[in-house]
Homo-oligomer: A and B are copies of this chain.
Amino acid sequence: MSQPLIGHLDPDFIALLDRLKDGLRTLFGTSNAMTLPLSATGSAGMEAALFNLLERGDPIVVGVNGVFGVRMAEVARRAGAEVTTVEATWGTRLSDSQMSDAIARVRPKVVSFVHAETSTGVCQPVEGIVSAAKEVDAMVVLDCVTSLAGRPVKLDEWGIDAAYSGSQKCLSCPPGLSPVSFSDRAIELVQSRKSPVQSWFLDLSLLAGYFSGAKRVYHHTAPITAIFGLAAGVDRALEEGLEARFERHSQAARHLIEGLEPLGFKPLVDAADRLPMLTSVRLPDRINGTGEAAVRTRLLSEFGIEVGAGLGPLTGQIWRIGLMGENARTETVDYLLDALRKILH
């Protein structure tokens, strides 16, 4: 990112962009032509997925078991969709049978849910829901913000039609970009829309002209420097190898939980459903409630460690500890555990 700027239509930049798109395809487990770094954060990636696939009045089923499921439902409402939510207690996975029942009943155009719920640390199994969606020929949108490059994502094998992620999670790049991928089937649906996509900035047909046209047509100015950074992050992930990278995330998470339990922290999520890159823990009684914020403030100011607070119904009850990308190392975990022991001694 310290490289001098070049133009967004410069042939050298277009070549870098093409190489980056290939790398993103590997991470997403897809051959989707329309795989690209969207020029805004993951929330804009979410809007891109839902705005392009939904028209006003279209039915959608959204799985909601955390902040980002709530957000998906809200974005879908703003697209004018008829939204049916299927809820699960925060910290647990969505129920395959409840999702399947809703899908069979509503026969939605789109089914949408979160792979790695950053607000709770739950990893959602994908295949049961996709299978129900395929039975009614619905498109499937998957939020991969926190999973991409930290655990397996297999869009093609799973049958996902649209997915989005963020640069700042397991890719360890600065926030600001959202890798997205759309299946050919999704693109066909976008091309056969009756009404224009409600965001010009996020309109896939227009983005395609710049990101994948033979003649690269100006749409908006791509964020060159951020894309340099993302390309470096993707290169690093591929150099490490995905299997090794996933194992490193898993090891770090195991080490964290083993170290936290003696201090009185208890995992929120059942072992089978835990994300490796985001560990949520219930707090020991002595720092529960309002006292927990003071401990997080000390971690940040004295040790330079930022730990996420609980959100929504889990506010004051849990911490969310991210071990993502470069940070997913046992040394990082030891540094946190030492700091906690000093504060809580």
Is A19 among interface residues, defined by CB-CB distance under 8 A? no
Q: How far is the CA of A175 from the CA of B2 in the complex (A)?
A: 14
Contact yes or no, A196 B77, CB < 8 A: yes
Q: How far is the CA of A306 from the CA of B71 in the complex (A)?
A: 41
Asked, given contacts A2-B2, A47-B201, A199-B47, whether A222 binds B39 with beta carbons under 8 Å apart, the answer is no
Is A209 among interface residues, defined by CB-CB distance under 8 A? no
Contact yes or no, A176 B43, CB < 8 A: no
Q: Give the chain B neighbours of A166 by CB distance below 8 A.
A: 221
Q: How far is the CA of A195 from the CA of B174 in the complex (A)?
A: 34
| Per-residue B-contact encoding for A1-23, CB less than 8 Å = 1, 0 else | 11001111010000000000000
Q: Give the chain B neighbours of A77 by CB distance below 8 A.
A: 196
* Complex: chain B residue closest to A203, CB-CB: B78
Contact yes or no, A223 B176, CB < 8 A: yes
Q: How far is the CA of A199 from the CA of B47 in the complex (A)?
A: 8
Q: How far is the CA of A190 from the CA of B2 in the complex (A)?
A: 39
| Per-residue B-contact encoding for A161-187, CB less than 8 Å = 1, 0 else | 000001010000011100000000000
Contact yes or no, B220 A43, CB < 8 A: yes
Asked, given contacts A40-B39, A78-B197, whether A223 binds B226 with beta carbons under 8 Å apart, the answer is yes
Is A198 among interface residues, defined by CB-CB distance under 8 A? yes
Which 9 residue pairs are nearest across A and B when measured between Cβ atoms?
Answer: A176-B223, A174-B225, A40-B40, A43-B220, A175-B221, A7-B306, A41-B220, A44-B201, A75-B200
Chain A residues touching B, range: 35 or more
> Which applies to chain A's interface (DSSP): helix, strand, loop or mixed?
loop
Q: How far is the CA of A14 from the CA of B196 in the complex (A)?
A: 37
* Complex: chain B residue closest to A119, CB-CB: B218
| Per-residue B-contact encoding for A76-89, CB less than 8 Å = 1, 0 else | 01110000000000
Contact yes or no, A74 B10, CB < 8 A: no
Q: How far is the CA of A158 from the CA of B310 in the complex (A)?
A: 45
Is A150 among interface residues, defined by CB-CB distance under 8 A? no
With beta carbons under 8 angstroms apart, the residue of B40, B196, B197 that contacts A201 is B40
Q: Give the chain B neighbours of A201 by CB distance below 8 A.
A: 40-41, 43-44, 47
* Complex: chain B residue closest to A71, CB-CB: B200
Q: How far is the CB of A66 from chain B (nearest CB, A)?
A: 13
With beta carbons under 8 angstroms apart, the residue of B8, B175, B300 that contacts A223 is B175
